[in-house]
Amino acid sequence: MARLFDPVCRMLEVAIRATVLRHNLIANNISNVDTPGYQAVDIRFEELLERVLRGEVEPEEVSFEPLARQPGVKLVLESGEGVRLDANTVDIDREMTKMVKNMILHNAFVKLLGRKYSTLKTAIRGTL
């Protein structure tokens, strides 16, 4: 994509995509809360955002599926706070908290990007 938009727009686009990826992982963790031996998984996308800002990764390269092939996205196994007999590391309270935090971040990123586009639209129209 041409460099029509500033780095903030690019970062917000990737952040929105990353929060969708994280939401899917959290939902998967929650759905496996009773699966023996299941290991909770999360992503760390901060490094991905840095790579996008440096121009090493294009926002279009960050797609929703499959997770394992995303450039710069690292899946991280999470250790549980308590030891369960079935070796499952999903803590439902922790996952629900992460889901709410992720949803708040996602909504904030969408609103910020909407404002950036609104500003661009105003500049194109030449009206206030």
Mean pLDDT of 38-48: 80
Q: Across all residues in the chain, what is the average pLDDT? A: 80
**pLDDT for position 60:** 66
- Look at residue 1 and tell me whether its pLDDT is greater than 50: no
- Read off the pLDDT of residues 77-105 as tens digits, 9 standing for 90 and up: 776 566 678 888 899 999 999 999 999 99
Region for 41 from its dihedrals, namely left if φ exceeds 0, alpha if ψ lies in -120 to 50, beta otherwise:
beta
**pLDDT for position 2:** 46
Q: Please give the torsion angle defined by the CA atoms of residues 57, 60, 65 and 69, in that order, rounded to the nearest 10 degrees.
A: -20
- Look at residue 24 and tell me whether its pLDDT is greater than 80: yes
Cα gap 109→57, rounded to integer Å: 19
Q: Which residues contact 88 (CB under 8 A, 6 or more apart)?
A: 32, 33, 34, 35, 36, 37, 38, 39, 80
Where does the pLDDT of residue 71 fall: very low under 50, low under 70, confident under 90, or very high at 90 and above? Answer: low
**pLDDT for position 10:** 77
**pLDDT for position 29:** 93
Q: Which residue has the higher pLDDT, 36 or 128?
A: 36
